[in-house]
Structure 1
């Protein structure tokens, strides 16, 4: 039988021969392996140190809920920009508002925005007249 005619099952003969003639380990080698195994087991046996997260105050919880400092910085920037644009709107925004009809260019046209009867309350109760 040549090497080309062998099948993978033919290797079982060699594995059986190797198992039957296993050399014995020296006592010094067994002691070293046992010491290494015990050292590794001690590392696994030690419980991990439990670290508690520091308690957060109300402001810290709010900050974490909003998404941290980057999110709060974005909100603050948007708020300041909104107040700035609302207090001193650029001429371009006023012109757009006049063109759209949201604001008129004369004060007389905006009189409908004044509440002449502040004590009057509009009631939407449908059962009043029935």
Structure 2
């Protein structure tokens, strides 16, 4: 017997009895199951038709969302390229107002460096 701590509900006695008294399958039942299994085998012999693999581009188009989504993506790309290459006047003035860029070249003269850093270092090296 087992200790009560290992089997608190007392079920081990029933498990031992089930392990000792295994019911045997009758020969008639075994023959019927074998006959049913043999009857099922010819019907299951046919293999399913192989599925054709899709190509890379068709998988990519399906991933994006199909042809309607691809058409929308192409339209947005062409519109973005067009607006970037030939921006409307409203966008140019809006961009200059937001960035604070001046409209005349006289106002932009402070952006020019009259003596770049590498030229200054060359001038100092020549004098020594």
TM-score by length of 1: 0.42
Structure scoring higher RCO (CA < 8 A, sep ≥ 6) equals 2
TM-score by length of 2: 0.42
